[in-house]
Structure 1
Amino acid sequence: MIPLAEAVTNSVARSGIGLGAAIAVVCSWERNRSILWAILAGLLSWFYVIYFAITRRPDERKP
């Protein structure tokens, strides 16, 4: 029998969005301010995160 806490954790992890999708949406929103681009970036997930990291502009970098 699976403990209740483990079952709840597994259920939440399966039904939520992934870390890559969350990072992609935030990066896309900061760059484009467009809901459609943010949704597309969320679908592409880690591919968009890698693309964003490679193509960052100087004003998007940490000072």
Structure 2
Amino acid sequence: MGENKNNKAIKSTVKNGISFGSCLAMIISYTAWKSIPWAIFHGLLSWVYVIYYWVKY
């Protein structure tokens, strides 16, 4: 029973992290490129784009 509770907490944390990463990627992309299609694409890439942008710029 305790494992099921921990599993739900982990899934919730991962889901929130992915959502936050997508949002952050879209904001960075839109402010940098002023393009909604690029922001959507970079939002799909999520943390990959955030880390890339941080390393590159």
Q: TM-score range by the shorter chain?
A: 0.5 to 0.7
How many residue pairs get aligned? The number is 42
The two structures have a TM-score, normalised by structure 1, of 0.61
Cα offsets for 1:2-55 (capped at 9, x unmatched): xxxxxxxx7xxx6xx700000000000011000010000000000000011011
- Percent identity, aligned pairs only, is 43
Aligned to 1:4: none
Aligned to 2:23: 22
The two structures have a TM-score, normalised by structure 2, of 0.67
CA distance in 1, matches of 2:53, 2:33: 12
CA distance in 1, matches of 2:56, 2:30: 15
Displaced runs of 4 or more, over 6 A: none
Aligned to 1:45: 46
Letter in 2 for 1:23: L
Structure 2: state its 5+ residue gaps.
1-11
Cα RMSD over matched residues? 1.6
Higher relative contact order, chain-length normalized (CA < 8 Å, sep 6+): 2
SS at match of 1:20: helix
Structure showing greater Rg: 1
